[in-house]
Structure 1
Amino acid sequence: MYHPRLRGNYYAVGKHYGSILYKNGFRFPDVSKEKLEFGKESLPYLQNFYPEIIDEMIGFADACNVSCEQVSSFLLSIGIFDINAQCSIFASFQNDEMIIGRNYDMLLSVKKFTESSLICMENKLRFVGHSDVFIGKVDGLNEKGLFIGMTLVPSEETRPGINFYFAIRYILEHCQIVNEAIEVLRGFHTSLSNNYLVADKNGDMAVIEVGPNHFRVRTPNEDESYIVCTNHFVHQTSQPNATWSRTAERNYTMINHLTRKENMREEKAKNIMSDSNGYVCLNLKEHNFGTLYSLVLNLNKLDILRAEGQPNRTKYKQDNRLNDEIRRSNKKR
Structure 2
Amino acid sequence: MELTFQALEIDKAGRKWATLFAQLWPAYRRWYLSDGLEQRPTYVACRDAIAAHMPELLQTYERLCDWAGGGDLAARFLSLWKPPAYISGCSQVVWLGERPLLIRNYDYAPALSDGLIMKTRFGRTSVLAMTDCMWGVLDGVNERGLAISLTFGGRKTVGPGFGIPLILRYVLETCSTVAQATETLSSIPTHMAYNVTVVDRGGRFATAYLAPDRKPVVKAVAYATNHQGRIEWHDHARATATLEREQFLHFRINDPDMTEDALIAAFAKPPLYTNAYRTGFGTIYTAVYDPVAGTARFIWPDGSWDLSVDGFAEGRMPITFQSGTRAVG
The TM tier, using the shorter chain, reads 0.7 to 0.9
The letter of the residue matching 2:29 is P
User: 2:303 aligned to 290, 296, 315, which one?
Assistant: 315
Shift of 1:178: 0.1
Map of 1:121 onto structure 2: 122
Q: Greater RCO between the two (CA within 8 Å, min separation 6)?
A: 2
TM-score, L = length of structure 2: 0.81
Aligned equivalents of 1:216, 1:162: Cα separation in 2: 18
Shift of 1:156: 3.1
Aligned equivalents of 1:83, 1:264: Cα separation in 2: 35
Q: Secondary structure at the match of 1:189?
A: coil
User: 1:303 aligned to 271, 275, 295, which one?
Assistant: 295
Shift of 1:197: 0.2
Sequence identity of aligned pairs in percent?
A: 17
Aligned equivalents of 1:129, 1:179: Cα separation in 2: 21
Map of 2:181 onto structure 1: 181
Q: Secondary structure at the match of 1:29?
A: helix
1:271-298 CA-partner distances (Å, limit 9, x unpaired): 121122x2x1121145143111211122
Matched residues, number = 301
| C-alpha distance 300-262 of structure 1, shift in aligned 2 (>3 A) | farther
Structure 2 residue 255 is the aligned partner of structure 1 residue 260: yes
User: 2:236 aligned to 242, 256, 267, which one?
Assistant: 242
Q: Secondary structure at the match of 2:192?
A: coil
Are the equivalent residues in 2 in contact too, given 1:198–1:207 (CA < 8 A)? yes
Shift of 1:55: 4.7
Shift of 1:198: 0.7
Spell out the pairing of 1:114-153 with structure 2 (5 A cutoff).
114-122=115-123, 124-153=124-153
Aligned equivalents of 2:189, 2:24: Cα separation in 1: 35
The letter of the residue matching 2:39 is E
| C-alpha distance 52-69 of structure 1, shift in aligned 2 (>3 A) | farther
Aligned equivalents of 2:116, 2:168: Cα separation in 1: 15
The letter of the residue matching 2:127 is F
| C-alpha distance 139-120 of structure 1, shift in aligned 2 (>3 A) | same
Aligned equivalents of 2:277, 2:170: Cα separation in 1: 35
The letter of the residue matching 1:94 is G
The letter of the residue matching 1:92 is W
Map of 1:224 onto structure 2: none
The letter of the residue matching 1:87 is C
Map of 1:92 onto structure 2: 95
Map of 1:38 onto structure 2: 40
Are the equivalent residues in 2 in contact too, given 1:99–1:299 (CA < 8 A)? yes
Map of 1:164 onto structure 2: 164
Are the equivalent residues in 1 in contact too, given 2:109–2:277 (CA < 8 A)? no
| C-alpha distance 135-285 of structure 1, shift in aligned 2 (>3 A) | closer
| C-alpha distance 285-68 of structure 1, shift in aligned 2 (>3 A) | same
Shift of 1:241: 4.3
1:92-115 CA-partner distances (Å, limit 9, x unpaired): 1123x102211111112124x221
Are the equivalent residues in 2 in contact too, given 1:102–1:296 (CA < 8 A)? yes
Are the equivalent residues in 1 in contact too, given 2:78–2:133 (CA < 8 A)? no
Structure 2 residue 77 is the aligned partner of structure 1 residue 83: no
Q: Secondary structure at the match of 1:191?
A: coil
Map of 1:273 onto structure 2: 267
Map of 1:228 onto structure 2: 223
Aligned equivalents of 1:293, 1:237: Cα separation in 2: 26
Structure 2 residue 73 is the aligned partner of structure 1 residue 69: yes
Shift of 1:88: 0.6
Aligned equivalents of 1:44, 1:206: Cα separation in 2: 30
Q: Secondary structure at the match of 2:136?
A: coil
TM-score, L = length of structure 1: 0.81
User: 1:324 aligned to 304, 307, 311, which one?
Assistant: 311
Aligned equivalents of 1:303, 1:110: Cα separation in 2: 26
**Ranges in structure 1 where 5+ consecutive residues have no aligned partner:** 221-226, 326-333
| C-alpha distance 35-4 of structure 1, shift in aligned 2 (>3 A) | farther
Shift of 1:3: 1.1
Map of 2:106 onto structure 1: 104
| C-alpha distance 241-132 of structure 1, shift in aligned 2 (>3 A) | farther
Are the equivalent residues in 1 in contact too, given 2:154–2:231 (CA < 8 A)? no
